[in-house]
Amino acid sequence: MTRRSPPGDPAEELARHGLRATRQRIAVLRLLQAARGHPTAPEIHRKLLRQYATLSQKTVYEILDALVDTGLVTRVSHGGAAARFEVERERHYHAECRVCGRLYDVAPSADGPIRGRSSLPEGFVVEDIQVRIEGRCLQCRDEI
């Protein structure tokens, strides 16, 4: 797996990516850097309301859009489910439980076989591979 550099100071990261380091942007980025899992925008909003009582959900969505546009944050969305967000530390894919909706990080070991076996148009250069894995997690596997 390709290692990415660990997340740095949120204010420095924002400035390096051309974004003004507002208190709200710093708070959202810091929350995502520390998050275990893949929170949704409403979950992020709910967590930050304790610290920023006037923070609107619209502002959280706008901040997330800006962070995604600059590449600081990755948006994970499948089908009609709510988008989830993460600071990607290592390249990886996601396995999603169809019952509870939890996302699990999965190493991208499928890259080699996919690149080696695919019949691509002549001269086509692969820049990214998206793999979506669906199933049931350990807690939900016996549920119908």
Backbone angles phi, psi at 30, to 5 degrees: -60, -45
Instruction: Answer positive or negative: Cα dihedral of 135, 38, 65, 107.
Output: negative
The contacts of residue 127 (CB under 8 Å, 6+ apart) are none
* Enclosing domain of residue 58: 10-86
Q: What is the pLDDT of residue 1?
A: 37
The contacts of residue 55 (CB under 8 Å, 6+ apart) are 24, 45, 48, 49
Q: Using an 8 Å Cβ cutoff, are 63 and 28 in contact?
A: yes
CATH of the domain at 122: 3.30.1490
Backbone angles phi, psi at 71, to 5 degrees: 90, 5
Greater pLDDT, 144 or 102: 102
Q: What is the pTM of this model?
A: 0.73
pLDDT tens readout for residues 61-109: 999 999 999 989 989 887 677 888 998 777 777 888 888 888 887 877 7
The verdict on 100 and 81 lying in the same domain is: no
Is 73 inside a domain boundary? yes
Q: Which of 50, 18, 16 is nearest to 31 (CA)?
A: 50
**Number of domains present in the structure of the chain:** 2
The verdict on 74 and 127 lying in the same domain is: no
